[in-house]
Structure 1
């Protein structure tokens, strides 16, 4: 009976570690630089802080506008508020008045 003896190849032992290194390096790179990686999460946090500050200013402006609308509602018309809005819209004032422009008025 004849048997064949195969010589062990050195490259065969390196295939599994090479595949493992390639697999780990691919996922390691994308865990830092990918769309949902560490750098992207830092950018998302920066955007969240910026938009939170913007939301706070918008809420403040909305509260001011709601207060003005409340003063102009039918139930409680404030003569001063009506006079102020009319003068602002018509761009008129008396000669003895001092005009102070508020940046939130439109």
Structure 2
């Protein structure tokens, strides 16, 4: 009978260690692959880099647009800019301009 209780206590100890190892393994796997894990952090870093470059491009585009709008302000209209915008919007051309018509396919 002594050996039976000793076997039971050894198996109980092994079961507790196995359960503890499974709990630690579960949290370890989630720390690596979970929603807030190491892989997610790397993906977020890549997304930050992509969005930062897109932000820089959009800022440059906005600065260019603001520069073009400043040229059209009434305080100092650039004649070339005004001529370009009028021709574009009214679809007109100067008689001295060379117009090349491309046929539609």
1:45 corresponds in structure 2 to 45
Matched residue pairs, number?
95
Distance 2:94 2:73 in 1: 26
Structure 1, 85-94 or 22-31: larger mean CA deviation: 85-94
Q: Specify which structure has the bigger relative contact order, considering alpha-carbon pairs within 8 angstroms and separated by 6 or more residues.
A: 1
1:54 corresponds in structure 2 to 54
Q: Secondary structure at the match of 2:75?
A: helix
For structure 2, the 5+ residue unaligned runs are 100-105
2:93 corresponds in structure 1 to 93
Cα deviation, 1:61-106, whole Å, max 9, x if unaligned, reads 100110011111121122221111111112222254368xxxxxxx
Structure 2 length as normaliser, TM-score? 0.78
1:77 corresponds in structure 2 to 77
2:5 corresponds in structure 1 to 7
Structure 1 length as normaliser, TM-score? 0.77
After superposition, where does 1:20-39 map in structure 2 within 5 Å? 20-39=20-39
- How well do the aligned residues superpose, as a CA RMSD in angstroms? 2.0
Compared CA separation, residues 94 and 20, structure 1 to 2 (3 A): same
Structure 1, 58-67 or 40-49: larger mean CA deviation: 40-49
